[in-house]
Amino acid sequence: MIGDIPVLILAGGFGTRIGEETQSKPKPMIEIGGKPILLHIMEIYLKVGVRRFIILGGYKIEYIKNFFINFPFYVNDFSIDLGSGEFTLLSQRHPDITVTVLDTGLKSQTGFRIFSARDYIDTEDFFLTYGDGVSDIDISKLYAAHKAAGKIGTVTAVLPPARYGALQVRSNDVIGFSEKLDRSESLISGGFFVFDRAVFDYLSDDADLIFERNPLETIANQGQLNAFFHEGFWQSMDTLRDRVYLEKLIEEGKAPWL
């Protein structure tokens, strides 16, 4: 069942491009719409019944640990005996969700972080994503496509939103401007993956191993990487500009992933 399949979320990087807020917290804990983007990502999976999450932390991991330790008190009503300090939860929101937080090193690369979770995966497949991207992707359709392909991995292919306008040029003459492009013509990885456990055969305990290079390229060269095309909304939060854009979508009630 899809609910038994764990999701690995890469959440250990420094996130320096987004601005000064990452000096005090990891990027996945930066809030949009009043809650960390990490929770927005988890809710994409919760929609289809996925209930197991493994957070691959590193930089400022104590912030992530403290957040989930105190999570029941953030989302539920509770009472406290001020004499004994004993808490009683008065509601049970998300009672069946399991979150595992792993310290995968401060400067480790993505390949090592993923490899560090191998002993915590007891299913044939697992999901993998980054802690900074949201989408209206249907995870159940992604998983079905992975199983139908019968390959080691499936990557979600998306068309990134255009960041800049474009010049219309003919024979060195500018003949017009396109102020806003809807799409780029180049597909990129949207960061929502599914993998068979066989992927660990391509990984190691080398802290400098970058998953997106040799391991993933080798899997692709062997014809073992399937593409799931997602034509809907996708947006990463790489920069402050991206964060402002996502906040605006939420404020205007136009956030497709919600």
pLDDT in tens, 89-113: 898 877 789 999 999 999 999 999 9
* Cβ 96 vs Cβ 51: under 8 Å: yes
Q: Output b/e per residue, 11-25; b: 16+ Cβ within 10 A.
A: bbbebeebeeebeeb
Average pLDDT, rounded, for the chain: 90
Output the six-digit token pair for 220. 């692709």
CA distance 158 to 82: 52
pLDDT in tens, 141-183: 999 999 999 999 999 999 877 655 555 556 555 455 555 555 5
Model pLDDT, residue 157: 92
Domains in the chain (CATH in brackets) are: 2-157+185-251 (3.90.550.10)
* Cβ 125 vs Cβ 196: under 8 Å: yes
pTM: 0.90
